[in-house]
Amino acid sequence: MEFKHICVVGLGYIGLPTAATFASSGIRVTGVDNNLEVIKSLLNGKVHIFEPGLQEIVTKVLKSGMMQFSEKPVEADAFIISVPTPFYGEKKADLRFVRSAAEAILPVLNKGNLVILESTSPPLTTRDVVLPILEKSGLKAGKDFKLAYSPERVLPGQILRELVENARVIGGIDEISAKAGKDLYSVFVKGEIILTDATTSEMVKIMENTYRDVNIAIANEFSRLADRFGVDVWEAIEIANRHPRVKILQPGPGVGGHCISVDPWFLVEAAPDLTKLIHTARVVNDTQPELVVKSIERILNGVKSKKITLLGLAYKPDVDDLRESPAVEIAIHLTKIGADVYAFEPYKTNFNLDGVKMSQSMEEAISDCECLILLVKHTQFLAMDPVIISKMTPAKNVFDTVNGWNRKAWEESGFKYFKLGDGKSNPE
């Protein structure tokens, strides 16, 4: 199948890089978003999200005329739906954006078109949600238009490279739809392209993130046990991982982002009777921020009215993505129990969080506080020199939740150093 023009609906962390990659590969692209501020920003050549290399590629394809932007879908050969699928209430999948995107495509859907859902979705979403909406056009899926599901499988900070290099799974409602999806993504994908059915493709994406979530949960439980038994969990993990068939992941303040912290709930919602392990892992990781707060309370002998600086609010290092971030949960919790909370997030200094004083620089963040909390392994935080920091802050306590700092260096600079999961040194 040949594609001269495609329409990408949703210009967020995945949609915009995908649209720009197609455009730079020679296919004319119309990017669609219902957020007028996003459209205005992009029309002015300014990218609204941080992703290395994205600004440059968007500038290039805009200048070449290969990409344009619109508030509504336009006629095209193929449509890619890349909108958020958050959860609501009791961890239920919110498919309103998916439904809205499918409804928006209806007026411009024509015979021969291909529609691909990229948004991470519960199994059967393509077949039971998207397909019936698109068939309101009077066209029949499989016969008049092709329909497939192909999830993104990329790492923030590496999106542009991994879109091209990673393996891609494409699940069609029929074989012809899957093959059409392969024709489309073959334009730029260098990794293996695996074809299957739509529901299997949906399941694969959720399985990948659920697998990681469960493995992080056991690492977080190990950190809790280490505190109980007087063990340094980081040392224990390093030793255990020398076994040729063991690879324990790293504990931390929790699990965030729009994938690992969300996707497992889709399976729990769909089959609560079959997902006891998955549910338990989610509870462990979702309660990790509360455990961090309790540790801070122990370190400071209570936090009420005490000035605490949080270093990092993103859900992972060196990105500006704060969705479902455990660091944000920690900040909110600390304010609720009376702490005077300052935060510095270098990739999103304009972020607003009720009750939290956002700093514009490291110097401002640490100039008047009693404790420094390392929550994210941003490169600039790992490079902090405790000798220099000691001259910039009155704080005497540091709490490292990600094993990013050297205990000896901080202690020699006059700080009391505490680390998540270090039962050898942490207070009872």
**Cα–Cα dist 140/131, whole Å:** 9
Residue 205: active-site member? yes
Closest CA to 310 of 354, 361, 365: 365
269: tokens are: 């919602």
Contacts (Cβ under 8 Å, ≥6 apart) of 373: 296, 308, 309, 310, 311, 330, 398, 399, 401
HSE-CB for 398 with a 13 A CA cutoff: 27
Residue 186 one-letter amino acid: S
Instruction: Look up tokens 């739906």; give the residue.
Output: 81
Give the CA radius of gyration of the chain. 23
Residue 259: active-site member? yes
CB 201 within 8 A of CB 151: yes
**Cα–Cα dist 140/137, whole Å:** 8
How many CB atoms are located within 10 Å of the residue 4 CB? Answer: 10
Q: Are strands 168-172 and 193-197 parallel, antiparallel or unpaired?
A: parallel
How many CB atoms are located within 10 Å of the residue 11 CB? Answer: 27
Angle of the 276-286 helix axis to the 288-300 helix axis, nearest 10: 30
Select which of 259, 316, 377, 419 is catalytic. 259
Instruction: Look up tokens 């499988």; give the residue.
Output: 153
Alpha-helical regions (H) of 305-415: 326-336, 362-366, 379-382, 386-390, 407-412
**Cα–Cα dist 183/170, whole Å:** 11
Select which of 205, 306, 316, 419 is catalytic. 205
**Cα–Cα dist 93/258, whole Å:** 12
Tell me which residues are annotated as active site.
Answer: 205, 259
